[in-house]
Amino acid sequence: MRAIRLRCGSRAAGVLIAVTATATTLAVTAIGPAAAAPAAAPAVAAPAGATSPQPGDACTTADLGTRHPYIKSTEVSPTITHFKGWYVTEGTTGEQAVTTTTETTITVSVGLDDKIEASFAADALSKVGVTVDLTVKMESATTSTESNAVTWSFNQPGYYGVYKGTKKVTGIYGSLNCNRAQQSDGSWALRWAEGPGSGAFTTYTTLEEGAVRCQDQVPAGSVMAKAQSLLDCGSPTAKAAHPAGAVAPTGEQRQDRAAQPAAPAERPVAAAQAALDCQSPVYKIEVPGKPLSWGAPLLADDGVRLRPSSIFSAHLDNWRLCNVTETDGVLEATLWNWGNGGCATIAEPDAATERVVLTTASCTEDDLQRFYIYRDVPGSSAIGVQNKYTGSMMGHDRYADGEFIRQYSSGRQDGTSTYNLTGV
């Protein structure tokens, strides 16, 4: 059978090729090598409390639509969040309330997400705490909400650094996804492997507060030692007589403030309508063993839903894979819908939102419209689908006509994020 390459950047193109495409895809039953056996039914998903998988561990068909975080690297650094140089003279000792200045703002985040509501982000931060053996923040938090007042009892005169601080924990997380892998004997098996989705995380430990002098002996690498370094103890400021009260910021403070990370740049505006290089096969993305499959919307403000296929489906249940690439056995593709001429996408304003609805839009060169496809062993058409930009897996809350397809940061652990990519 002769392969056909399609330019399907518009609905008109889809209509013109309808007859030819249908004729050339009757023999296609699943993506990948020719099917040698019927599609396997999804296995039962592992219990939610099961041990976290490691790269190379076996996984099941039901895991194709799930993912798990693992921690690739960590760095722990004492960080001063609030600070004030304070001079105490004879007669001014005793308890004083010192209003400090914000030095560093730390916001808990995992990848795009600084609202820790998604299961993947919470799971990642939990693993961070275990990795560094510290109790870290595992919820939405920022040190900017902390009061900048420190009340301290000064027993001796001297030059003090009054501070609040914490241990900032940063690093890189990876994403473990279930995908087929070829064994040394040529057979295939499902294994947990590092997926394309990875990113940076930031969290911190409980804030501590106190006051430290230049002559105090403090533990190396501690928050207190970091505060002491901001005093510039060898400077004339530290040695000179000074009236009681605040001391001007030191050079070290000014340097630390200048080193604060800049705000993230805005994502560029999406490109104009793209001409896609689509493969000839036409697919349904079906719930295994059930009659419902992904159906694209007719209305722009609607989303992709589970729908039954019939002669009235108007090809809204038909999808093509476009601009396809493959890396380490994982496909990356744009999902073009034959019925409405649009491409599956996650809307940009909702990209970091758990359970946001999958929609279709005009096809552009944008990672929000790119999807990774994880496949079962040859002979099965089972797949998991992950958005490239958000890292979330596609799935549905319940099996019902009209139920939306949504993104879930960790997928659906009950196996409802596994679908069949079946040729029509």
pLDDT per 10-residue tile (average), the chain, 424 residues? 44 36 36 37 38 90 95 96 94 94 95 80 94 95 94 93 97 96 96 89 96 94 95 72 79 66 51 80 97 94 95 94 95 97 95 94 95 97 96 96 96 94 96
Instruction: Give the closest residue to 345 by CA, choosing from 332, 358, 331, 362.
Output: 358
Which helix (H) or strand (E) covers residue 238, if one does?
A: helix 236-239
What integer pLDDT is reported at residue 238 of this predicted model? 65
Distances (CA, A) of 189 to 4, 174, 182, 184, 378: 31, 22, 6, 11, 9
User: What pLDDT is stored for residue 114 in this prediction?
Assistant: 80
Residue whose C-alpha is closest to residue 223's, from 71, 103, 109: 103
- Name the E strands within 64-187: 67-88, 94-99, 101-102, 109-110, 149-154, 158-182
How many whole angstroms separate alpha carbon 164 and alpha carbon 224? 9
Question: Contact 285/385 with Cβ under 8 angstroms?
Answer: yes
Please state the pTM of the whole predicted model: 0.76
For residue 260, the model assigns a pLDDT of: 66
SS3 208: strand
pLDDT at 256: 67
Give me the pLDDT at residue 28, please.
36
> What are the structure tokens assigned to 404, written together?
């939306």
In whole angstroms, how far apart are CA 62 and each of 20, 45, 259, 330, 413? 35, 5, 46, 17, 8
